[in-house]
Structure 1
């Protein structure tokens, strides 16, 4: 049986939750950000992180496949998420994406990686997924809700892919979390560069109008994920993946308070279920 959740891992996940909810709120407030917004964020992250990695690590050709693979998965995730935010509510897309991801991740971590978390941890993981789906069960109606559900589910599937890929990278391949997130950001920036450069005027306008959001996402997104990656080196991915959905509690409340999205009672009820699930994971 695998070890449970260590206090340090839980603290890392808690800090990541606030950073993650913060950058998702900033991204949602940029209308039709799309690929240009993703490129700006990835480029800023790469510019900030590359010098740190070069000063603290020696590059290796062995990094290429793991880092490029991670970058491709994260790029797909960001593009789907931005499209979802352009067509649906934060309170639908975000919880469905974050709920589907850990559900699939736990199943695959047990079947593929052979993890055997404590039964209480699995009960907690199930509670987290249930609470996330409760939070995301309302919101808009009609076409925007349908689009939000579709993009939320697709994004969740990609979250599963990058979570398992990155967990294997930091634990089995033994690439440092900071190196992984830096390589991923560089891959995203490079792959989107031709598209962005062909729309230079639009990119300049986006920077002028939404530079604060670009800075928030460019800093908080890699920060949130590198904290999760460190947590994955201290606890099983089958527990880390659902526990990090504490960000849903923060994001659901912010969607209500800041964006004025409806159904606060449903949000708070779902948040309590998520917190109960994380508590079960923490003591497992």
Structure 2
């Protein structure tokens, strides 16, 4: 992985932590996610329509990824209703690289070295330490099933998107069409399940949600592009440095405690990134 790709993926990690923090700010997490999903549709169309059409073989991957995103968003919002950003985010994001790496070792043709797997393992250990407060600090354990459900969905769509982008012929267009399909499926599904009451009425909520959607697209597009030029498992692991950014946002913006364990875990995450680069 080149330095340019590394910096791009780190930028995507920050954008991912940012849009999660914006969702967490809302009083209604589901409502905020619906706004984000509605905004995904025009964003995706504006990017996809001027570009060349993606290959026909990519459309099943687009639909599969969009359906998986529905479960990812649903589990994530339910977890945020029950826990802090600095706890839910590490668990939800942290388990995914291990799942991707294990499946990728069997199902993908990518060549991942022993050092890279060591980096992924170190990164996962740091993430596990970051998340241990749910057991030791008296926080609600009700967030765990939803956070792990989000992790499973993340691993699934990571594999689908990485493979779909490779056959699409244009990673940017592929991501844009996934955005459109994802926005439609989540918005319509949420309205069908909860009715129009799920839609926030405050203009500020729509402004924040739309900005979160832009950050989400930036993060997503960069990551999917990186998966076309670097091993999927390595890119997936590097993306999880977003946990470091999320912890910093939780500390500086939400007033969450920065404990010794969090600081040690952050150093382990950074070390995992360095080892993965070897």
Change (3 A) 1:139 1:91: farther
Q: Which residue, 214, 227, 232 being the options, matches 1:232? A: 227
| 2:126 matches 1:131 | yes
* Matching residue of 1:77: 72
Verify: 1:178 aligned to 2:172, yes or no: yes
Q: What 5-or-longer segments of structure 1 have no aligned partner?
A: none
1:130 and 1:223 mapped to 2: Cα distance?
27
Contact 1:39/1:188 (<8 A) preserved: no
User: What residue number does 2:12 align with?
Assistant: 16
Per the alignment, do residues 142 and 181 of structure 1 end up closer, same or farther by CA in structure 2, a change over 3 Å counting?
same
Distance 1:194 1:88, change over 3 A: closer
Q: 1:263 Cα shift?
A: 4.1
Q: Out of 30, 40, 53, which is 2:26 matched to?
A: 30
1:103 aligns with 2:94: no
Q: 1:151 to 1:195 in 2, by over 3 A?
A: closer
Task: Give, in whole Å, the separation in 2 of the partners of 1:99 and 1:59.
Answer: 31
Instruction: Show the counterpart of 1:279.
Output: 274
2:242 alignment partner in structure 1? 247
Partner of 1:165 in structure 2? 160
Q: Which of 214, 223, 227 pairs up with 2:218?
A: 223
Q: Deviations over 1:98-131 (max 9, x none)?
A: 1100011111111111433121111111011111
In structure 2, distance between residues paired with 1:194 and 1:275: 38
Given the superposition, is the C-alpha separation of residues 224 and 30 from structure 1 closer, same or farther in structure 2, using an over 3 Å criterion?
Answer: same
CA contact (8 A) 1:74 1:184 kept: no
Report if the CA contact (8 A) 2:122-2:268 is conserved. Answer: yes
Deviation at 1:61, TM superposition (A): 4.5
Equivalent residue runs for 1:144-155 within 5 Å? 145-155=140-150
Q: 1:115 aligns with which of 110, 116, 119?
A: 110
Partner of residue 39, structure 1: 34
Q: Where do 4+ consecutive residues of structure 1 move more than 6 Å?
A: 140-143
Deviation of 1:140 after TM superposition, in Å, equals 7.8
From the superposition, tell whether residues 59 and 101 of structure 1 become closer, same or farther in structure 2 (CA, over 3 Å): closer
Cα separation, partners in 2 of 1:13 and 1:204, compared to 1, 3 Å: same
1:196 aligned partner: 191
Change (3 A) 1:234 1:64: closer
Q: TM-score if structure 2 supplies the norm length?
A: 0.91
Counterpart CA distance in 2 for 1:23 and 1:213 is 9
CA 1:193–1:7: 2 relative to 1, 3 Å: same
Q: How many residues align?
A: 276
